[in-house]
Structure 1
Amino acid sequence: MTTMKLKKHLLAIAVTAVALAAPGAAFAQNKVNLGVAIPAATHSFTAGIVWWANEAKKELEKANPDLKVTIKTAANAGEQANQLQDLATANKINALVIFPFESAALTKPVAQVKGKGVYVTVVDRGLTDTSAQDAYVSGDNTAFGKVPAEYIAKTLDGKGNIVALRGIATTLDNERMDAFNGVMKAYPDIKLLDAKYANWNRDDAFKVMQDYLTRFKQIDAVWAADDDMAIGVLKAIEQAKRDDIKIVFGGAGAKGMIKTLIDAKDPRIQANVSYSPKFIYDAIKMTAEARLKGEALPATTIIPSVLITKDNAKEFYFPDSPF
């Protein structure tokens, strides 16, 4: 090869290398095969999770031809663990967004998928070993307890009797209750009469509230830390024909409660706190967009839980969602 031909050959290689490295090159974007593993729609909140996951798939695949999203729903932890293996081996995913059915039971299966080189984003229910994940996305459980406490204390002018209905005995529920109690410490004239578990279930909440109404002759406000529980609470109050309760504060922004706020249909329903199943949509979107760019998410992303009132309720109203 002559000196001139050699120079031209080297120049061609250099130009090719620059083109390959150019961020605007069409082939610089990664192809992302994203698996989504979530609980089945066994109650209204998880029905919302499934709905928002499918909304994310529809919108993101349309906008990104290099993205494929495969969604698996499971009725229990064992089924979800098996689905993870299918996603890794049959679907050959290179990214995973998982809302674990249970924390402990899913930690090892998720770790095995991560060990195959799959990028893992865990949503809401954390794993027992965080080394099994690349990123964690959740709602703000501290704010979920703090926001209702502040609203109730202010509305009662710092005095009165209140009762609380907790969810299930979990670290998530503890965070919420600790935050609620932390606010109430500043209001010595507000008495928390009792706080019992009602399992985020309207029937259990109905029974717990019946007990409260029998035992306590004066209740000024109820913190039912979930909108399903708030429905059970309202049913018990109506059945007992009690008119002393000024506030029933639920949580998570179920569409029925938000519509009640918008329409001002019940004077006891004055506010709510956001903790929408939409966070699965946000987690899928953030993960897909980051991986398409070859980037990683922050280790932890907390989606704010904020106060919802009649003034901003329309921003949190999703009538097509099952939740």
Structure 2
Amino acid sequence: MKNSFLSRRHGAVTAVAAAVALTLAMTGCSDGGSADGSDKKTVGATLLSLQYPFLVKLNEAAKAEAEAQGLELISLDPRQQTSTEMQQVEDLITKQVDLVVMIPVDQKISQAAARRVNEAKIPLLLVNTSFEDFAGEYVSYVGSDDTKAGEIQGQYLVDQLPQGGNVIYLVGQYGGAGTERRKAGFESVIKGNANIKVVTELEAHGSRAEAKTIMEDLLRKYPSGQVQAVIAQSDEMAIGAASAIAEANRQNDFKIVMGVDGSADGLKSVGDGLMTATVFQDAVGQGKTAMEIAKKILDGESVPKTVDLPFKLVTKENLSEFTG
């Protein structure tokens, strides 16, 4: 009886030991790989704000291309908060990602987070927005020159208002590199035209709802005939302003309502006549190219310091080029 019990006990111990050995063998293969146990390289991305349709589209394109390239992509949304952005970078460093992508929240404050990536000796790829006077290192930048977007808006304004006019200018968020560069480009073009005057400049945080509320207030401030144009730094803000103008039956007062991004809603608004123009920025191209460049970096290949995807003016006349 005693021998029978010992035999059964020995058999149970042997089975447990075999199960443990099998488990260790299976889990051991994930060392140095991704979170799902594969050998994929992992890219961690902190992306300014995924509340913006443009950046949602960019992220979707990046996800698709990451999968095609055999990369694991972790996308994070700091919601335009530099403190959250820093925490996300710290978390990505802790996860030991192989490469970090940043769309910086602020061209100055966000540099601290970028330097943490440098300190962790992880390659840094900037997308959509680059830094000025950066005291750290990044391998490559993929995006468009926001200064050019502002210049395109300024030139369109000058061409459409040869006799001059008053302008409402809606910016995204002060301190953001895109905000400051678009403004600088816009002002560089209109400064030589004394008859064009920005009568109001306000921050609308890229929000359609906020821009609509601002525009409703401004329509009460400026009676018919006092303002001829609305220039917004994003399609979302331009659409919000245009909605307020339409609801007030003031469309004939405004010769220009213009945004930036060439989002699906922005392009539709140009086609519908709600907006007169936008400046197309290639969200899909930026997301796809970013992951192509990331793969090359991780494979040890050389990459260009800058990959520029130019902005393009969109009006009703050439709209089909962007919607076909």
TM normalised by structure 2 equals 0.73
> Which residue of 2 is the match for residue 169 of structure 1?
174
Name the CA distance, whole Å, in 1 between partners of 2:83 and 2:199: 40
Question: 1:50: how far off?
Answer: 2.4
Q: Is the 8 A contact 1:162 1:221 kept in 2?
A: yes
Structure 2 counterpart SS, 1:272: strand
> 1:131 is paired with a residue of what secondary structure?
coil
Q: Distance in 2 between matches of 1:105 and 1:195?
A: 23
Change in Cα spacing, 1:247 to 1:104, as seen in structure 2 (3 Å) is closer
Q: How does 1:25-64 map to 2 (within 5 A)?
A: 33-39=41-47, 41-61=50-70
TM-superposed deviation, 1:229? 0.7
- The structure-2 alpha-carbon separation of the partners of 1:211 and 1:109, relative to structure 1 and needing over 3 Å to count, comes to closer
Whether the 8 Å contact between 1:168 and 1:200 is mirrored in structure 2 is yes
Q: Which range moved further: 52-61 or 236-245?
A: 52-61
Please tell me whether the aligned partners of residues 60 and 287 of structure 2 are also in contact (alpha carbons under 8 angstroms).
Answer: no
Alignment partner for residue 186 of structure 1, among 181, 187, 192?
192
Taking structure 1 as reference, are residues 225 and 41 closer, same or farther at Cα in structure 2, changes over 3 Å only?
closer
127, 133, 152: which one pairs with 1:147? 152
In the TM superposition, residue 221 of structure 1 has moved relative to its aligned partner by: 1.7
In structure 1, distance between residues paired with 2:91 and 2:194: 55
- CA distance 1:292–1:175, change in 2 (3 Å): same
- Aligned with 2:291 (options 276, 279, 284): 284
Query: Does the 8 Å contact 1:37/1:100 carry over to 2?
Result: no
Letter in 2 for 1:205: A
Task: State the Cα distance separating 1:58 from its structure 2 match.
Answer: 2.8
Question: Is 2:121 the partner of 1:117?
Answer: yes
The separation in 2 between residues aligned to 1:102 and 1:220, in whole angstroms, is 32
Unaligned runs of 5+ in 1: 1-30, 62-67, 319-323
The question of whether the paired residues in 1 share the 8 Å contact of 2:235 and 2:266 is answered with yes
CA distance 1:310–1:186, change in 2 (3 Å): same
Change (3 A) 1:193 1:78: closer
Q: Report the CA distance shift for 1:257/1:172 in structure 2 as closer, same or farther (over 3 A).
A: closer
Structure 2 CA distance, aligned partners of 1:289 and 1:265?
Answer: 42
Report the equivalent of 1:8. none
Deviation per CA, 1:242-266, whole angstroms, max 9, x where unpaired? 12112211111110121343xx321
Q: Give the direction of change, closer, same or farther, for the CA distance of 1:191–1:312 in structure 2 (3 Å limit).
A: same
What is the percent sequence identity of the aligned residues?
23
Contact 2:46 2:89 in 1 (8 A): no
CA contact (8 A) 1:35 1:96 kept: yes
Superimposed CA distance per residue, residues 176-232 of structure 1 (whole angstroms, 9 cap, x where no aligned partner):
122212211232222322222222112221122123222223222211221111121
Give 1:147 shift. Answer: 0.5
Q: TM (normalized to structure 1)?
A: 0.73
Q: Which amino acid is 2:165 matched to? A: G
1:1-323 matched pairs, under 5 angstroms: 33-39=41-47, 41-61=50-70, 68-75=71-78, 80-85=85-90, 87-88=92-93, 90=95, 92-101=96-105, 107-126=111-130, 129-170=134-175, 171-216=177-222, 217-218=224-225, 219-242=227-250, 243-261=252-270, 264-266=271-273, 269-278=275-284, 279-292=286-299, 294-298=301-305, 300-317=306-323
| Aligned residue in 2 for 1:27 | none
Shift of 1:87: 4.2
CA contact (8 A) 2:104 2:130 kept: yes
Given the superposition, is the C-alpha separation of residues 77 and 273 from structure 1 closer, same or farther in structure 2, using an over 3 Å criterion? Answer: same
How far is 1:274 from its partner? 2.0
CA distance in 2, matches of 1:80, 1:179: 27
Shift of 1:101: 4.8
Larger Rg: 2
CA RMSD of aligned residues (A): 2.9
DSSP-derived class of the 2:183 partner: helix
Deviations 1:70-127 (A, max 9, x none): 323244655654554554454x443332224555665445434433432211223446
Listed one character per residue, the Cα deviations across residues 137-183 of structure 1 (whole Å, up to 9, x for unaligned) are 33211111111111122122342332211221124322212221221
How many residues of Structure 1 are paired with residues of Structure 2 in the alignment? Answer: 277
Distance 2:184 2:84 in 1: 33
